[in-house]
Structure 1
Amino acid sequence: MNYRKLGKTGFSVSEISLGTWQVGGKWGDPFSHDNADKILNAAVDAGINFIDTADVYGDGESEKAVGRLVRSRSEQIFVATKCGRRLQPHVADAYQPAVLRQFVEESLRNMQLETLDLVQLHCPPTDVYYRPEIFELFDRLRDEGKIRHLGVSIEKVEEGLKAIEFPNVATVQLIFNMFRQRPPELLFKEAARRDVGLIVRVPLASGLLTGKFSPQTSFSAEDHRNFNRNGEAFDKGETFSGVDYATGLAAVEELKQVFPGDSQLAAFALRWILMFDEVSCVIPGASRPEQILSNLKAAEMPALSAEQLQAVRNVYDRKIKPLVHHTW
């Protein structure tokens, strides 16, 4: 495993880490602590030392599983959670320091930890990034020993650029993949200049970039890839990176020609992300332990060639960019 510095946190984190949105089972399935324990322990066994969760994953059950892992292992494991998405309705006015404090304290209880390594605002509405009192709260929580660092999870480049103006923002979590190529244009450069770590989520565009989907692939009624394609439940960009499914499939077929052979497209897609030095880590999810080992193949691959990088860019420019580039 290779490790990279997570911005101003100073943490040295595995470049392939783990996101836990579906760690207790696939989207829509009941949470399975047995399955979660197997996945989490397989991750640590493989050298992963950074786990990303949130209080809404499994309605707190994911946090409980992550806390149990940390307490049971001797290795240093950095834990990141998120807060804010429990607000109903999820609007800017609902973001209040007292409520966010309560969420952080509940996460501490869920995980049975004294301190959280990283707490991230969980994709708040854009207006929240213009309210200093929200960010000041986390300075107080740090002084109280409840958190070590603050981060933000964003939907739009604009939000990341605004967030990192606050000096206590140590990390930005964002969607970045072969189908979402806008962030390097400015956000990556500004994050590096301010020593802000970049955590990449949705690296495989909700599975599109595994190359395993077809027009006949079906998703369960509870799977966001079925019910959120047009943003019915939350930001459209979280599902297939906001790319129309048929368009995504066509682009994937072209990418398979760029990376022919027996290797899975998913490993190349993850390796493509790691070609950007500004990225601290990528957090693909897993719904079974075998997927951990599959994801780790990317860290062992040689660097992509200039020709391969240009070919990926060409596919994006022709198939994807005109449709979504400036949306996020």
Structure 2
Amino acid sequence: MRYRQIRGTDVSVSEVGFGVWTMASGWWGQYSDEQAIDMLRAARERGITFFDTADTYGNGRGETILAQAFTPAERAELTYASKFGYDWKNSGKDREAGHQEAPHRFDIPFLENALVETLERLNTDHLDLWQLHNVRMEHLQLDEVWTFLDRVKREGKVRSIGVALGPAIGWLDEGLYSFRNLPVDIVHMIYNALELNPGRELIKAANETDHSILVRVPHSSGMLEGQYDENTTFAENDHRRHRPEAWLRNGVQKIRQLEFLTDGTGRTLGQAALKYVLHDDSVVSALPNIYNMQQLEEFTAASDVAELNHDDMQRIEALFESNYGIAREVEHGVTR
């Protein structure tokens, strides 16, 4: 495993991190506390030091299982990131089953309490990274939020501040605004070899402003693991079941054109996908969706396989620009 540092901070992260949402949210299968803890500990044993969660994952469970997985002494050697901004306790919805967003809330008393409760659930006295969760432009423009974040950072409760874009891919304006106008250290975005936009422009902006980027969905919801075909089905509670049919059909056609990333290289497609998103120094960590031991072994070994070369990168760009020769369809209101 290799490690990178969030620019402008002393916060170190493993270049492959662990997104705790897979263990806590129920979107990738159901895991008992014991199963989740075993997976988290196995990740640490394989060099992962960066664990990204949120107060809303599993209604707090994404934080409590981290506290159960690691002792205080172990936690001191790890990097914890969490997120805030959803009023999930008062959402009045079965969000986990229905994949619904809770309402946002950014008044200062709410944020004060959110930080206290997150630290309690994680059994820690500080966060290494705290991120505004799936924010909209109007949230970013609340001066009182940034005054509050500056204070908790100076108090040592938070070491670095980030903006997590989402929930879906996009939010270019919010990302650019964060880099150019706000005291953030990092922007967290969706980016992968099948979905280059708006990631390419945000990477350019990160380098221009000397900021860092955190990437999630580096395998395009599993498509770039190379395990799907046209007949793949997903469990009732799997979030991929809610994607349009074209996502699976077109995705399978696309990954067949990426075999050059694995032929004779000693890399799996899943490892090549991680190498792709980590090719730029602004990207300090990628968060694959890890939900079984086979993936954990494969993805943590990605640091040790051959880098993608310039020709590989150019071919990926060219395939993306041509949409892999596939007629473009509108998916979730976004033409891909």
- TM-score for both structures, normalised by structure 2: 0.84
Matches for 1:218-233 after TM superposition, within 5 Å: 218-227=233-242, 229=243
In the TM superposition, residue 126 of structure 1 has moved relative to its aligned partner by: 2.9
1:211 equivalent to 2:226? Answer: yes
Who is 1:319 aligned against? Answer: 323
Alignment partner for residue 247 of structure 1, among 235, 245, 250? 250
Secondary structure at the counterpart of residue 151 of structure 2: helix
Change (3 A) 1:98 1:166: farther
Instruction: Tell me the alpha carbon deviations over residues 244-291 of structure 1, each in whole angstroms, 9 at most, x when there is no partner.
Output: 332222111111255336742111111111211211111113112332
Who is 2:33 aligned against? Answer: 33
In the TM superposition, residue 311 of structure 1 has moved relative to its aligned partner by: 1.7
Provide the aligned C-alpha RMSD in A. 2.7
Who is 1:7 aligned against? Answer: 7
Q: In 2, Cα distance between the equivalents of 1:144 and 1:223?
A: 40
Secondary structure at the counterpart of residue 8 of structure 1: coil
Aligned amino acid, residue 18 of structure 2: L
Q: In 1, Cα distance between the equivalents of 2:253 and 2:146?
A: 42
Instruction: Tell me the alpha carbon deviations over residues 73-128 of structure 1, each in whole angstroms, 9 at most, x when there is no partner.
Output: 53610100011234547456x33222222222111111111111111011122321
Secondary structure at the counterpart of residue 205 of structure 1: coil
Q: In 2, Cα distance between the equivalents of 1:226 and 1:96?
A: 35
Q: In 1, Cα distance between the equivalents of 2:306 and 2:29?
A: 36
- Contact 2:17-2:286 at 8 Å conserved across structures: yes
Change (3 A) 1:266 1:159: same
1:174 equivalent to 2:185? Answer: no
In the TM superposition, residue 25 of structure 1 has moved relative to its aligned partner by: 7.9
1:108 equivalent to 2:119? Answer: yes
Change (3 A) 1:25 1:158: closer
Who is 1:163 aligned against? Answer: 178
Change (3 A) 1:145 1:263: closer
Who is 1:233 aligned against? Answer: none
Q: In 2, Cα distance between the equivalents of 1:194 and 1:70?
A: 35
Question: How many aligned residue pairs are there?
Answer: 315
Who is 1:235 aligned against? Answer: none
Change (3 A) 1:81 1:169: same
Instruction: Tell me the alpha carbon deviations over residues 183-239 of structure 1, each in whole angstroms, 9 at most, x when there is no partner.
Output: 454322322333322111010011011111122111122211112x26xxxxxxxxx
- Contact 2:25-2:58 at 8 Å conserved across structures: no
Q: In 1, Cα distance between the equivalents of 2:303 and 2:24?
A: 24
Change (3 A) 1:66 1:327: farther
Which protein, 1 or 2, shows the higher relative CO under an 8 Å CA cutoff with sep ≥ 6? 1
Q: In 2, Cα distance between the equivalents of 1:135 and 1:129?
A: 8
In the TM superposition, residue 324 of structure 1 has moved relative to its aligned partner by: 7.9
Which sections of structure 2, spanning at least 5 residues, go unmatched?
A: 92-100
Secondary structure at the counterpart of residue 58 of structure 1: coil
Who is 2:67 aligned against? Answer: 67
1:306 equivalent to 2:317? Answer: no
What is the percentage of aligned positions where both structures have the same residue?
A: 29
Aligned amino acid, residue 279 of structure 1: V
1:134 equivalent to 2:145? Answer: yes
4+ residue runs of structure 1 moved beyond 6 angstroms? Answer: 324-328
Secondary structure at the counterpart of residue 315 of structure 1: helix
Which sections of structure 1, spanning at least 5 residues, go unmatched?
A: 231-239
Matches for 1:283-298 after TM superposition, within 5 Å: 283-298=287-302
Who is 1:81 aligned against? Answer: 82
- Contact 1:255-1:315 at 8 Å conserved across structures: no
Aligned amino acid, residue 319 of structure 1: N
Who is 2:134 aligned against? Answer: 123
- Contact 1:7-1:198 at 8 Å conserved across structures: no
Aligned amino acid, residue 52 of structure 2: D
Aligned amino acid, residue 255 of structure 1: L
Secondary structure at the counterpart of residue 51 of structure 1: strand
1:192 equivalent to 2:242? Answer: no
Who is 1:234 aligned against? Answer: none
Aligned amino acid, residue 80 of structure 1: A
- Contact 2:3-2:12 at 8 Å conserved across structures: yes
Q: Which moved more, 1:243-252 or 1:295-304?
A: 243-252
In the TM superposition, residue 62 of structure 1 has moved relative to its aligned partner by: 1.7
Alignment partner for residue 280 of structure 2, among 276, 282, 285? 276
